[in-house]
């Protein structure tokens, strides 16, 4: 397969038109959304979708989310939409919520990893919506990272992972949310969260009864969201996440590692960082009451740690409430060790 070098396009009408033309012709283009950057292909092109699997090194059993620019595109890709799904769309679209629905025959099996369902979302990002509109068909798009790496929250991150493997990057600056969308399935009045995100459990409880699939992965089970079984979001360094009471052990652990000449990065709230000696990389999650800022920064920190050749990242776990539930889910997925009991 011939790969063209990506061209970084500025966020203008002309660049949207160029990106759309590449996509129409079955190329693959990275684009910003409010959550993370996606790597898009026309949803109806097996050839383009195949290119994404190759570019990312993505396992074939992990289905893609299909992105639409208007609710009236839903009927192209999904059928048998229950009333509760319609209520979710009214409340949370455009936005970081992916709803898994029965797929129409036109959606190729390769896009859904052989499943009869498709994850659909309408992103809340002007560039993403304009791009989908210009292509004229929905876009199948996983996050625009190499498989197993943290999702990209800037065009630079995409370039870092996929330079030479994709046709173009549409640069929309840093993404707003910083964590991937909430993925849900629905049945009658029940909502099951397969992947927590910025549309939180508390927000979904306004619409129906909510259940969250446990973040821990049991390899003997077939996971509800196939993507959740893979080690994800992981930098190259060893990652220790400290939770609950164990957070008080963090400064001591840093001290011991320092004596072994490890290159250490500490990712923690401002007040915790103040208790830690200098001489290591400190990455601030900010103030304790701004989980949104912590979420926005996390993936960039994990990538930066790699650039700095850090070999131990120590992370302060956070309270798994509201957006904190999604952030903690990603921390646990990045973790080599979890220190401490319940969160």
Binding flag, residue 98, Mg ion (CB under 5 A): no
**In the complex, what is the shortest distance from the CB of residue 268 to ligand TXA, in angstroms, rounded to a whole number?**
25
Query: Quick one: CA dihedral 167, 170, 173, 174, positive or negative?
Result: negative
**In the complex, what is the shortest distance from the CB of residue 27 to ligand TXA, in angstroms, rounded to a whole number?**
17
Binder to ligand TXA among 142, 196, 317, 324 (CB under 6 A)? 142
**In the complex, what is the shortest distance from the CB of residue 93 to ligand TXA, in angstroms, rounded to a whole number?**
12
Site residues for ligand TXA, 281-310, by CB under 6 A, read none
Q: Are 131 and 31 in contact (CB under 8 A)?
A: yes
Binding flag, residue 38, ligand TXA (CB under 6 A): yes
Nearer to ligand TXA, 117 or 284 (CB): 117
Binder to ligand TXA among 11, 117, 258, 311 (CB under 6 A)? 117
Q: Are 42 and 26 in contact (CB under 8 A)?
A: yes
Nearest by Cα to 141 from 155, 128, 160: 128
Binder to ligand TXA among 131, 170, 183, 285 (CB under 6 A)? 183
**In the complex, what is the shortest distance from the CB of residue 110 to Mg ion, in angstroms, rounded to a whole number?**
17
**In the complex, what is the shortest distance from the CB of residue 294 to ligand TXA, in angstroms, rounded to a whole number?**
17
Nearer to ligand TXA, 49 or 247 (CB): 49
Q: Phi and psi of 226, rounded to 5°?
A: -50, -35
Nearer to ligand TXA, 78 or 265 (CB): 78
Q: Are strands 182-187 and 97-102 parallel, antiparallel or unpaired?
A: parallel
C-alpha to C-alpha distance for 30 and 151, rounded to whole angstroms = 12
Residue 18: count of CB within 10 angstroms of its CB = 18
Binding flag, residue 175, Mg ion (CB under 5 A): no
> Tokens in use for 5?
């070098």
Nearest by Cα to 341 from 243, 268, 248, 251: 243
C-alpha to C-alpha distance for 12 and 225, rounded to whole angstroms = 35
DSSP 302-336: HHHHHHTT-SEEEEE----STHHHHHHHHHHHH-S
Nearest by Cα to 144 from 296, 264, 40: 40
Nearer to ligand TXA, 36 or 168 (CB): 36
Site residues for Mg ion, 279-338, by CB under 5 A, read none
Numbers of helices and strands, H then E, in the chain: 11, 16
Binding flag, residue 154, ligand TXA (CB under 6 A): no
**In the complex, what is the shortest distance from the CB of residue 215 to ligand TXA, in angstroms, rounded to a whole number?**
12
Binding flag, residue 35, ligand TXA (CB under 6 A): yes
**In the complex, what is the shortest distance from the CB of residue 6 to ligand TXA, in angstroms, rounded to a whole number?**
17
* Cα angle: 337, vertex 174, 294; to 5 degrees: 40
Count of residues of this chain found to bind Mg ion when the rule CB under 5 A is applied: 1
Interacting partner of 183 out of Mg ion, ligand TXA, none (Cβ under 5 to 8 A depending on kind) = ligand TXA
Binder to Mg ion among 33, 45, 143, 153 (CB under 5 A)? 143
Site residues for ligand TXA, 212-271, by CB under 6 A, read 225-228
Nearer to ligand TXA, 65 or 74 (CB): 65
Q: Torsion angle, CA of 271/275/280/283, rounded to 10 degrees? A: -10
Which residues would be at the binding site for ligand TXA (CB under 6 A)? 33, 35-36, 38, 62-65, 96, 98, 100, 112, 115, 117-119, 121, 123, 141-143, 180-181, 183, 194-195, 225-228
């Amino acid at each position: 397969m011939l790969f063209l070098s990506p061209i970084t396009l500025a966020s203008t009408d002309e660049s949207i038109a160029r990106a759309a033309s590449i996509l129409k012709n079955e190329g693959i283009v990275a684009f910003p959304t409010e959550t993370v950057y996606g790597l898009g292909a026309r949803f109806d092109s097996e050839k383009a979708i195949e290119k994404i699997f190759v570019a990312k090194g993505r396992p074939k059993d992990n289905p893609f989310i299909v992105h639409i620019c208007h609710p009236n595109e839903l009927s192209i890709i999904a059928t048998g939409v229950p009333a509760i799904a319609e209520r979710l769309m009214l409340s949370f679209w455009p936005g970081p919520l992916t709803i898994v629905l029965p797929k129409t025959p036109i959606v190729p099996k390769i896009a859904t990893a052989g499943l009869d369902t498709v994850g659909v979302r309408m992103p809340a990002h002007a560039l993403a919506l304009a791009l989908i509109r210009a292509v004229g068909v929905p876009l199948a798009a996983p996050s625009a990272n190499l498989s197993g790496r943290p999702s990209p929250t800037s065009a630079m991150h995409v370039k870092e992972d996929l330079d030479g493997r994709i046709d173009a990057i549409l640069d929309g600056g840093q993404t707003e949310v910083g964590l991937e969308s909430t993925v849900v399935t629905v049945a009658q009045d029940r909502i099951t969260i397969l992947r927590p995100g910025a549309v939180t459990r508390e927000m979904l409880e306004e619409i129906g009864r909510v259940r969250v699939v446990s973040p821990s992965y049991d390899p003997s089970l077939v996971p509800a969201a196939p993507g959740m079984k893979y080690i994800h979001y992981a930098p190259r360094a060893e990652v220790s996440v400290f939770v609950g009471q164990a957070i008080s052990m963090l400064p001591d652990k840093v001290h011991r590692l320092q004596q072994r000449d490890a290159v250490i990065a500490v990712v923690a709230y401002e007040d915790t960082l103040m208790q830690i000696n200098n001489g290591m990389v400190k990455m601030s999650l900010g103030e304790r009451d701004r989980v949104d800022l912590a979420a926005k920064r996390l993936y960039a920190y994990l990538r930066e740690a790699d650039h700095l050749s850090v070999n131990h990242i120590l992370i302060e776990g956070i309270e798994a409430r509201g957006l904190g539930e999604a952030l903690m889910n990603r921390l646990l997925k990045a973790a080599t060790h979890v220190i401490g009991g319940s969160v």
